Chain A
Amino acid sequence: MRHRTLVSALIVSVVIAIAMAATSSVSGQSAPLEKPRAVAKAVPTGKPYTPPKTPDGQPDLQGFWTNSTYVPLERPNGVTKEFYNKEEAEAAMKRSAEREAEQTEPGTTADVHYDFTQFGLDRSQSTFATSLRTSQIYDPPDGKVPPLTAEGQKRQQERAAARKQAGGQYDDVKNMPIGSRCIIMGGAGPPLQNAGYNANYQIVQGAGYVMILTEMIHDARIIPIDNRPAPPSGVRQWTGISRGHYEGNTLVVETTNFNGKNPFRNGSENMKVTERFTRIADDAIEYKFTIDDPATWTKSFSADLPLVKTDGPIFEFACHETNFGIANILAGAREDDKKAAEQKKKPSSN
């Protein structure tokens, strides 16, 4: 449902998606398991790769990338190993793709809104990263987000209670999902996450800075790599404040100063995200992240979500400017309120 409203909010994304689909050499809309054009070598091959350097000597991470993937963040129940074999991985991918394709079946609810294949919202239509991993999380070894601390549980309950207190999802724009409101979408992170569609990024490196642009809502992270002091504690942001440095050919980015309004997996505002970007092939960046938040989880956890090269350019994602969806959804809810009130009046007036 969240996905649905999010999608309807983003008329502009359709334009982008069409353009993306056009550049993605879709050969058949009814064949969701077309071979991906780029494949990340998420499992190290052992072959040494020396990344190119930018003119000012940074390991070159520049270009257009996607982290679209069928690998879930957490390991599915019943799966007990870190890696599938090739056949198992393909079968798991096929199951996920079929689930996604179901949404385009004529006559289903989803079909009323969109043909996913027509608008490029189906992952299988564009470049995506394949991996033998059974889950993005590889530490702890069970592939799951660690248990919540007592404080984490309490916060979760308090947040749930506050949501209930605020009323129904369609009572007020503030009760609606942050993505539907065009404030920030999941892919922007940090950590970067697979946004489902339009999971595209552009990296540009200038002297002293790395810039990561997330296509969804044109979210640009500006990461200084000049050893400047830690950010002032009085400033808190949706995407936190990042500081970067290189360890060999790996860009390491540490982010703190979150505002706690869009916490990754219900974490706290004191979460620290450490990301490691390593170019491992011309068409692939190994992307690993670690979440440290002792106020929420009993231990830190780490995940691996490869970035693979995709075709640019990235188009403007003017989300808020054409957010007709959110106004229509709220107007519809108020119409329902009116009808319900009239319904209530009827028996008493008789």
Chain B
Amino acid sequence: MRNWFLIATSAALLTAAGVAMAQAPQAPAAARPAAASAYRAPRTSDGKPNLNGVWQAITEANWDIEAHSAAPSPIKELGATGAMPAGAGIVEGGSIPYLPEALKKKKENQANRLKLDPEVKCYLPGVPRAVYQPYPFQIIQSTKHIMMLHTFAGAVRTVYMSDQTEAPADSWMGWSNGKWEGESLVVDTKGFNDQSWFDRAGNFHSDALHVVERFTPRSADTLNYEATIEDSKTFSRPWKISLPLYRRVEPNAMIMEFRCVEFVEDLLYGHLKKQPASK
């Protein structure tokens, strides 16, 4: 409880700090792992850093991975509950290096978000969005496979630590091959389709997306998460995001069903409902 209060307080402070630091070329120092290199994680039985656990990002990135101010709800009825909180951003250097055409598309996406955001439709969130959506996810780690099991839409990612192959087909969650580099789990993911977004602000990618993530333990209950994002059809150069992940330390922490298909059926298919016969 105390932990959460602290985290919530620091998140609020970070948000406030973000406004002041929005002009700075680097992400706020507090979001960076201060002593990541010094920490040595407990080991699993097969001698690897133990990443098993239920993890969750505490960030406003799912609204917009770039620094942004608070904004009202796009749906009047939701009032303050649907409003967007301000965020300091998780993009290193502050902004995403879009190619000019791609930037235009991003703005269109943002303007038509309710119609276009795959999250609204309960579609698989893709990578890296699945990691920083505001829901817990669980890592189950074996020698050959590391599973990342997400709450949202029950998204699943298998990280192949052995029997690695190229992506057999394009997919929402991509095809992930992993390796250990010191304390870090490094996950290389390709084979994406062009359907998922990075956030609710319309930030997007093409099927040329290539994500390299590093999960590095920074204390018993926190990981540092970094991802390098490359997509030559959309961006002028590779760019990087970073944020901490927090362990859900409560003893009854578990991933629960969020089978959201059921929640969006009226939205997606309601217009195809039989109309009562006119008499």
Segment at the B interface, from A32-40, A142-150, A288-296, A318-326 = A318-326
Chain B contributes a number of interface residues (CB within 8 A of A) equal to 52
Say whether A327 contacts B269, CB under 8 Å. Answer: yes
Q: Is the CB of B155 within 8 A of A172?
A: no
Contact assessment for B272 and A318 in the assembled complex, using a CB-CB cutoff below 8 Å: no
A232 to B254 alpha-carbon distance, docked (Å): 12
For residue A31, CB closer than 8 A to chain B, the reply is no
Digit string of A29-71 for contact with B (CB within 8 Å is 1, else 0)? 0000000000000000000000000111100001000000000
Residues 231-247 of A contacting B (Cβ, < 8 Å): 232, 235, 237-239, 241
Q: How large is the interface on A (under 10, 10 to 19, 20 to 34, 35 or more residues)?
A: 35 or more
- Interface status of B181 (Cβ within 8 A of chain A): no
Residues of B within 8 A of A54 (CB): 45, 142
- Are the CB atoms of B140 and A173 closer together than 8 Å? no
Chain A residues contacting B171 (CB-CB under 8 Å) are 315-316, 318
A238 vs B263: C-alpha distance when bound (angstroms): 14
Interface 1/0s, chain B 251-277, versus A by CB < 8 A?
Answer: 110111101011001101110111101
* Complex interface residues of chain B between 135 and 156 (CB less than 8 A to chain A): 138-145, 147, 149, 153-156
Whether the Cβ atoms of A218 and B274 lie closer than 8 Å is no
B139 contacts which chain A residues (CB < 8 A)?
206
Within the complex, the shortest CB–CB distance from B105 to chain A, in Å, comes to 20
- Are B147 and A56 touching (Cβ within 8 A)? no
B155 surroundings in chain A (CB, below 8 A): 218
Is B261's CB under 8 angstroms from A209's CB?
A: no
State which of A213, A217, A235, A330 has its C-beta within 8 Å of the C-beta of B269. A330
Q: What 1/0 mask marks residues of chain B from 156 to 178 whose CB sits below 8 Å from any chain A CB?
A: 10101001010011011100000
Which one of A79-87, A154-162, A219-227, A270-278 contacts B?
Answer: A219-227
Contact of A211 among B144, B149, B251 (CB under 8 A): B149
Q: Which residues of A contact B (CB under 8 A)?
A: 15, 19, 54-57, 62, 167-168, 170-174, 181-184, 202, 204-209, 211, 213, 217-220, 222, 224, 228-229, 232, 235, 237-239, 241, 312-316, 318, 320-321, 326-327, 330-331, 333-334, 337, 341
The 3 closest A-B pairs by CB, nearest first: A55-B45, A330-B272, A206-B140
Instruction: Name 22 A/B residue pairs within 8 A (Cβ), A-sorted.
Output: A15-B169, A54-B45, A168-B274, A170-B274, A172-B274, A181-B261, A204-B145, A206-B140, A206-B142, A208-B52, A218-B155, A218-B156, A222-B149, A224-B254, A228-B251, A239-B257, A313-B158, A316-B171, A318-B172, A321-B195, A330-B272, A337-B274
Other A-B contacts than A54-B142, A55-B46, A204-B140, 11 sampled, CB-CB below 8 A, are: A55-B44, A57-B45, A171-B273, A209-B138, A217-B154, A237-B256, A238-B259, A316-B173, A318-B172, A320-B123, A330-B273
